[in-house]
């Protein structure tokens, strides 16, 4: 294949890619719509007006989320599913995934063991980077993909815990502590 044929092939490939993108994002630049009112009222040219149209605002917002390829819809759907699976895996890494965003109720903790109540309470602190003197807790949270220990326990408790925890988290930690100590007067015994 000579240079002129390669250039024509490249140009044709670019044009084809542009046409595919426009087809995916709303059918191209020009849309036709009927401008007349009923059959027989003027020529076809009088009835049809050209409208310049680009992608809608919603299409533009979605364009960052879509990958155009031979199986563009399949690729976009696969990425959506991978994101959902990742969120599900992360949520599965928590005992109470929503303890940082809503007040926990009796129904949320029903069936949790004494150990799980203790871990769920400490999960609230671990989300904010608290390190634990307990090897059991440090090992447990160290195994979680989301955990990043930043603050020593006494430093966190004295300084950061007050400012980093939201009101919801403070109420949930207190609620979980009450549930733990109601189940066993001394609470869960760590490192045993």
Q: Does residue 190 sit within a domain?
A: no
At 162, the pLDDT band (50, 70, 90 cuts) reads: confident
At 15, the pLDDT band (50, 70, 90 cuts) reads: confident
- b/e sequence 27-55, b meaning 16+ C-beta within 10 Å: eeeeeeeeeeeeeeeeeeeebeeeeeeeb
In this structure, the answer to whether residues 76 and 115 fall within a common structural domain is: no
Nearest to 153 by CA among 179, 171, 172, 128: 128
In this structure, the answer to whether residues 77 and 144 fall within a common structural domain is: no
- pLDDT 10s digits, 104-118: 999 999 999 999 999
Q: Does residue 51 sit within a domain?
A: yes
In this structure, the answer to whether residues 113 and 74 fall within a common structural domain is: no
Q: What is the predicted pLDDT for the residue at 3?
A: 61
Q: What is the predicted pLDDT for the residue at 8?
A: 60
The domain total for the chain is 2
In this structure, the answer to whether residues 76 and 11 fall within a common structural domain is: yes
Q: Does residue 90 sit within a domain?
A: no
In this structure, the answer to whether residues 77 and 110 fall within a common structural domain is: no
Q: What is the predicted pLDDT for the residue at 72?
A: 56
Where helices occur in the chain by DSSP H, the ranges are 3-24, 44-47, 57-63, 72-92, 106-109, 114-126, 135-142, 153-155, 161-164, 167-183
Residue 115: count other Cβ atoms within 10 Å of its Cβ.
15
Q: Does residue 189 sit within a domain?
A: no
The pLDDT of residue 142 is above 90? yes
At 1, the pLDDT band (50, 70, 90 cuts) reads: low
Mean per-residue pLDDT, 63-73: 49
Is 84:68 a contact under the CB 8 Å cutoff? no
Q: Does residue 9 sit within a domain?
A: yes
- pLDDT 10s digits, 23-59: 555 544 444 444 444 444 444 444 444 444 555 555 5
The residue segments making up the domain with residue 71 are 3-34+45-82
In this structure, the answer to whether residues 160 and 127 fall within a common structural domain is: yes
Residue 93: count other Cβ atoms within 10 Å of its Cβ.
15
Report CA 184 to chain centroid distance, whole Å: 38
In this structure, the answer to whether residues 14 and 71 fall within a common structural domain is: yes
């Amino acid at each position: 294949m000579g240079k002129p044929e390669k250039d024509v092939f490249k140009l044709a490939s670019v044009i084809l890619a542009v046409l595919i993108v426009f087809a995916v994002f709303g059918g191209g630049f020009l849309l036709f719509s009927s401008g007349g009112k009923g059959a027989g009222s003027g020529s076809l040219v009088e009835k049809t007006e050209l409208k310049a149209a680009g992608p809608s605002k919603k299409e533009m917002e979605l364009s960052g989320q879509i990958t155009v390829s031979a199986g563009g819809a399949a690729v976009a759907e696969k990425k959506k599913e991978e994101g959902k699976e990742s969120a599900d895996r992360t949520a599965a890494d928590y005992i109470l995934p929503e303890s940082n965003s809503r007040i926990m109720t009796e129904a949320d903790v029903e069936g949790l063991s004494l150990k799980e109540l203790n871990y769920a309470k400490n999960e609230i602190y671990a989300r904010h980077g608290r390190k634990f003197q307990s090897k059991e807790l440090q090992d447990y949270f160290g195994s979680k993909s989301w955990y990043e220990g930043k603050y020593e326990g006494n430093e966190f408790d004295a300084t950061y815990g007050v400012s980093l925890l939201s009101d919801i988290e403070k109420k949930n930690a207190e609620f979980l502590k009450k549930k733990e100590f109601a189940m066993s007067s001394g609470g869960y015994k760590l490192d045993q």
